[in-house]
Amino acid sequence: MSLAEIICRGASVAVTLTLAKRLGMANYGRVGFAFDIVFWLVLLVRDAFEVIISRELARHPRLVRPLVNHVLALRGVLSVSLFVGLVTVSSLTISTAADRAILALYGLLLLTTALGLDFVYRGTERMGLVALSLCIRTLVYATGVWMSVGDASRIVWVPAWLALGEACGITLVWICYSRQYGLPRPVLGFRFLRVFLKRGRSVCFIQIAQTVISSADLMVVDLMSRRWSDVGQYGAPHRMITAILTFGMIFQQVTFPTLARSWRQTTAAGRDALNVMVKVLMLGLIPIAVGGAVLSGPLVRFMLTKEYAGAGLLLALGIWRAPLLTLAYLYQTTLIAVNREGAGVRLLLSGAAASAPLVAFSCYCFGLPGAAAAVLVIGLSLVLAGYMLLAREERQPEWHHHLGRPLAASAVMVPVCLFLAQWHVLAGVAGGALTYLATLWGIGGLRQDELRAVLCRGEARTIPRPHTRFATQETS
C-alpha cells in the first residue's frame, strides 16, 4: 500500500501540474470547482460505510458476503439519488453547457464509488489487490490526461478519464471478488439498515466531519472568489498538499485492523501500538512540512507557470496541515477502533461547524493566506483535544518523545536546503532529504523493529467472536 500510494500520489501531482500549466489558472479553477463539489458527495457515499464495515470485517471475516450484499444496495440507492440531484441542480444553476458537462462527468464518480469493494480487502488485510487497483485507476487517468488534454478546448476529457480510470480499477477488484465469493447479490435489508445506523452513526459523523475540515477552506474560497484565477491559485498547492495528506489517510486504513483488534488487548499494548504509528508518521511528515515551507517559493516557480507566483506563501502555510490533520485523524481512528467513537464525535462536529465560518472570516480579512492559516488553527486544536480524549482512556501516545528527533534533524536540514537551492530546487530537496536521514540515523532515529511492526501485518490473529449483533442477525 505504501508503494502504491507513492506511485499514485506522484502520478496525481504530475497530473495536477500538467493541468495547471495546460489549462491556465482560470480554467484549472473551473475544473477544481466541479471536482470539489463532487468530492464531498463521493466521500458521503464511501466514508459513511467503509470504516465501520472494515472494522466488522476485521473482527468477523466470515460475514463478507452478507455485508457486501447489503452495503452495495445501500450505496447504490444513495449514489443514484445524489447523482440525479447533482445533474438536476446543475441544469438549473449553471449557465454554460461545458461546465454542466464537466460536473456531470465528475458525478459519475458517485456511481463507481458505490460499486467499489476495496473495503473487503482492507478489512481482511489483503492489501496487495487494493494497491494494484489504486495504481491502475491512477495510471489510466494520468495517461489519458497526458495524451488527450493539450489545452482548455479539451477540458471535458479531464473528468471523463478520471471516471474511466476508477471503473478499470474497480472492475479488477470485482473479478477477484467474484472468483472467491461469487457475484454479489445486493439486498436492501431494513433490519441491517437499523443496526448499521445504530452502530455506525457516530463513525459516519466522524467521517463527514473530517471531510468538511479537510476541504472546507477550498469550498469557501471557491464560493467567495470572484475570479476563476483565485480558485486556481488556491487549488493548485492545495491539491499537492492533499496528496501528502492522502498518504496519511492510507496509512490509517492499513493500520486500522491492528487498532481494531487492540481493543481486546491490554491498555498498555494498545498504547504501544499507537506510539509506534505516531512515531513513524512524525518522522516522515515533519521534514516534509519543514522542507516544503522553506522551499515553497522555488518549488512553485519550478513546478508551475509564472501566473502562480503568489501560491508560494499558500504552499508554505498549507503544507503544515499534513502533519496536523493526519495526527488528529489518527487519534479519531483510534477512538473508532476501541469502540469509543462517541467520545470524538462532538469534538469533530464542533471543528467542522467552526471551520467554514473561521475560514470565511480569515479569508475576508487576510485573503487566501488567511484561509490556509485558519485550517492550521483548526488542526492544532483537534490534535490537542484528541490527545486529551485518548488520555481519558489511558491510550495517549508519548508525543514529546516523537517530536524531538524529527524536529532536530529538520533543523539541521534547513540550511542545507537553502544553500543547495541557490543552484537548483531539486538539489535542495535531495540534499535536504539526505541530510535529514543522515542526522536521524546519527541521533537514533527509528528502530528497525518498530518499522517492521507498522509495515508487517504479523502472524498473530485474534479469533473473532461470532456472537455479536452483526453476526447473529446476518447469519440468521
How far apart (Å, rounded) are the C-alpha atoms in residues 334 and 392?
13
Which residue is listed with cell 479488477? 172
Q: Quick one: 176 and 213 in the same domain?
A: no
Which residue is listed with cell 477488484? 173
* Joined grid coordinates for residue 172: 479488477
Asked if the model's pLDDT at residue 473 lies above 50, the reply is no
Q: Quick one: 136 and 214 in the same domain?
A: no
Q: Quick one: 164 and 217 in the same domain?
A: no
The answer to whether residue 474 is domain-embedded is no
Q: Quick one: 107 and 48 in the same domain?
A: yes
The answer to whether residue 201 is domain-embedded is no
Nearest to 152 by CA among 330, 11, 30, 237: 30
How far apart (Å, rounded) are the C-alpha atoms in residues 443 and 450?
16
Given a contact cutoff of 8 angstroms between Cβ atoms, the answer to whether 322 and 241 are in contact is yes
For residue 53, the enclosing domain spans 1-188
How far apart (Å, rounded) are the C-alpha atoms in residues 209 and 401?
29
Q: How many CA atoms lie within 13 A of 397 on its CB side?
A: 25
- b/e map of 101-127 (b: 16 or more CB within 10 Å)? bbbbbbbbbbbbbbbbbbbbbbbebeb
The answer to whether residue 289 is domain-embedded is yes
The winner for highest mean pLDDT among 346-350, 413-417, 444-448 is: 413-417
Percent with pLDDT over 90 in the chain: 20
**CA angle, residues 89, 223, 360, in degrees to nearest 5:** 135
Q: Quick one: 130 and 227 in the same domain?
A: no
Q: Quick one: 95 and 27 in the same domain?
A: yes
> Between helices 190-224 and 228-262, what is the axis angle to 10°?
150
Q: Quick one: 230 and 181 in the same domain?
A: no
What value does the mean pLDDT of the chain take? 81
Overall pTM surpassing 0.75 (yes/no): no
Q: Quick one: 165 and 224 in the same domain?
A: no
Question: What contacts 6, CB < 8 A, 6 or more positions away?
Answer: 247
The total of structural domains in the chain comes to 2
* Joined grid coordinates for residue 162: 478520471
The winner for highest mean pLDDT among 325-329, 398-402, 463-467 is: 325-329
Q: Quick one: 175 and 244 in the same domain?
A: no
CB neighbour class for 92 (10 Å; exposed up to 12, middle 13-18, buried from 19) = exposed
* Joined grid coordinates for residue 194: 437499523
Q: Quick one: 220 and 181 in the same domain?
A: no
**SS3 assignment, position 174:** helix
Q: What is the per-residue pLDDT across 121-171, written as a single tens digit (0 to 9) for each?
A: 877 777 888 889 989 999 999 999 999 888 888 888 999 999 999 999 999
CA dihedral (302, 303, 306, 309) positive or negative: negative
The answer to whether residue 197 is domain-embedded is no
How far apart (Å, rounded) are the C-alpha atoms in residues 48 and 44?
5
Asked if the model's pLDDT at residue 469 lies above 50, the reply is no
* Joined grid coordinates for residue 94: 449553471
Res 170: pLDDT: 92
